[in-house]
């Protein structure tokens, strides 16, 4: 399973890249609004650090405008993928963009039918938001499971990005289901490394090492 970092923060992206586990980045307007750099400069910087897809969201609402905005985003760097929220106008834009070779990540997916239609329209990725479904007492990971089955049934090449991840268990479940990608906030990524028994074990090894007879 590929790991994307769900952030627009350059320090977090540099740090995760240095761990050797980073396959891509997803951003959205909310994440962008937390940073100080101008939008275009920030996208260019992220794209320089990341050796993989960098997802940048469109905010236009009419298909012609979405296409224009997506093309502007795509010109910022070779590894830009445009995020388009699922809607009728977004589907129309996805069809045009995918035919022109611009990769689309259809975002804000909350139902299997939305993912199915996005894949039919040519989306390269779909992003089901599991945490936001959990927030309203729906089982977010069930949606991922259903999308994976549908894509497998019909041989869609569209990749599933598990998004709105809130804790390490979401990542485990995504990997067990065979999701293509998990896009993970930095705090969750840090938690994935930790285990109290590892800390205890390291502590004990260090203490015992100090008692080992050396030259
Ligand atoms: O990238 C979009 C998604 O991951 C948002 O997460 O926590 O705002 O639901 P959240």
What CATH number is attached to the domain comprising 32? Answer: 3.20.20.70
0.85 cut: is pTM over it?
A: yes
| Residue pointed to by tokens 């259903």 | 146
Do β-strands 24-26 and 54-57 pair in parallel, antiparallel, or remain unpaired? parallel
* 214 within domain boundaries: no
Tokens of 96: 């045009």
Query: Residues lining ligand 1, judged by CB closer than 6 Å?
Result: 6, 26, 28, 129, 131-132, 163-164, 183
The span from the CA of 58 to the CA of 72, in Å, is 10
Residue closest by Cα to atom 10 of ligand 1: 164
Q: How far is the CA of 133 from the centre of ligand 1 (A)?
A: 11
Structural domain boundaries enclosing 72: 2-209
From 3, 4, 6, mutation site for ligand 1 pocket: most ligand atoms within 8 A of C-beta: 6
* 215 within domain boundaries: no
* 186 within domain boundaries: yes
- CA of residue 108 relative to chain centroid, distance: 12
With beta carbons less than 8 A apart as the criterion, state whether 184 and 6 touch: yes
Phi-psi region of 146 (alpha: psi -120 to 50; beta: other; left: phi over 0): alpha
- Closest atom of ligand 1 relative to the 28 alpha carbon: 1
Q: Which backbone phi and psi does 26 adopt, to 5 degrees?
A: -120, 140
Q: How far is the CA of 112 from the centre of ligand 1 (A)?
A: 18
* 23 within domain boundaries: yes
Q: How far is the CA of 57 from the centre of ligand 1 (A)?
A: 12
How confident is the model at residue 58, as a pLDDT? 98
Catalytic sites, residue numbers: 83
Q: How far is the CA of 214 from the centre of ligand 1 (A)?
A: 52
* 32 within domain boundaries: yes
The span from the CA of 188 to the CA of 54, in Å, is 19
From 5, 25, 28, 138, mutation site for ligand 1 pocket: most ligand atoms within 8 A of C-beta: 28
How confident is the model at residue 139, as a pLDDT? 98
- Closest atom of ligand 1 relative to the 83 alpha carbon: 1
Q: What is the DSSP string of the chain?
A: -EEEEE---HHHHHHHHHTT---EEE--HHHHHT--S-HHHHHHHHHHH-SS-EEEE----SHHHHHHHHHHHHHH-TTEEEEEESSHHHHHHHHHHHHTT--EEEEEE-SHHHHHHHHHHT-SEEEEBHHHHHHTTS-HHHHHHHHHHHHHHHT--PEEEEBS--SHHHHHHHHHHT-SEEEE-HHHHHHHH--HHHHHHHHHHHHHHHHS---
Number of other residues whose CB lies within 10 A of the CB of residue 200 = 10
Structural domain total, the chain: 1
With beta carbons less than 8 A apart as the criterion, state whether 158 and 126 touch: yes
List, in order, residues 6 or more apart from 159 with CB less than 8 Å away.
124, 125, 126, 180, 181
Q: Would you write out the chain's pLDDT as a tens digit for each of its 215 residues? A: 999 999 999 999 999 999 999 999 999 999 999 999 999 999 999 999 999 999 999 999 999 999 999 999 999 999 999 999 999 999 999 999 999 999 999 999 999 999 999 999 999 999 999 999 999 999 999 999 999 999 999 999 999 999 999 999 999 999 999 999 999 999 999 999 999 999 999 999 999 999 999 99
- Closest atom of ligand 1 relative to the 163 alpha carbon: 4
Q: Give the closest residue to 196 by CA, choosing from 204, 186, 207.
A: 204
């Amino acid at each position: 399973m590929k790991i994307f970092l769900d952030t627009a923060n350059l320090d977090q992206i540099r740090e995760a890249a240095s761990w050797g586990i980073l396959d891509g980045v997803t951003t959205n307007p909310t994440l962008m609004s937390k940073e100080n750099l101008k939008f275009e400069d920030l996208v260019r910087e992220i794209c320089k650090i990341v050796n993989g897809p960098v997802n940048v969201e469109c905010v236009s609402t009419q298909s012609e405008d979405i296409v224009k905005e997506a093309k502007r985003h795509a010109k910022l760097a070779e590894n830009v993928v445009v995020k388009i929220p699922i809607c009728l106008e977004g589907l129309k834009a996805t069809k045009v963009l995918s035919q022109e070779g611009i990769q689309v990540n259809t975002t804000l997916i909350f139902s299997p039918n939305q993912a199915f239609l996005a894949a039919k329209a040519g989306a390269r990725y779909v992003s089901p938001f599991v945490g936001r479904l959990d927030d309203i007492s729906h089982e977010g990971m069930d949606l991922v499971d259903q999308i994976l089955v549908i894509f497998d049934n019909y041989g869609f090449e569209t990749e599933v990005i598990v998004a709105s991840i809130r804790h390490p268990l979401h990542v485990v479940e995504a990997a067990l289901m065979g999701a293509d990608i998990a896009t993970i906030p930095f705090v969750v990524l840090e938690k994935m490394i930790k285990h109290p028994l590892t800390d205890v074990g390291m502590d004990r090894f260090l203490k015992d090492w100090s008692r080992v007879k050396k030259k």
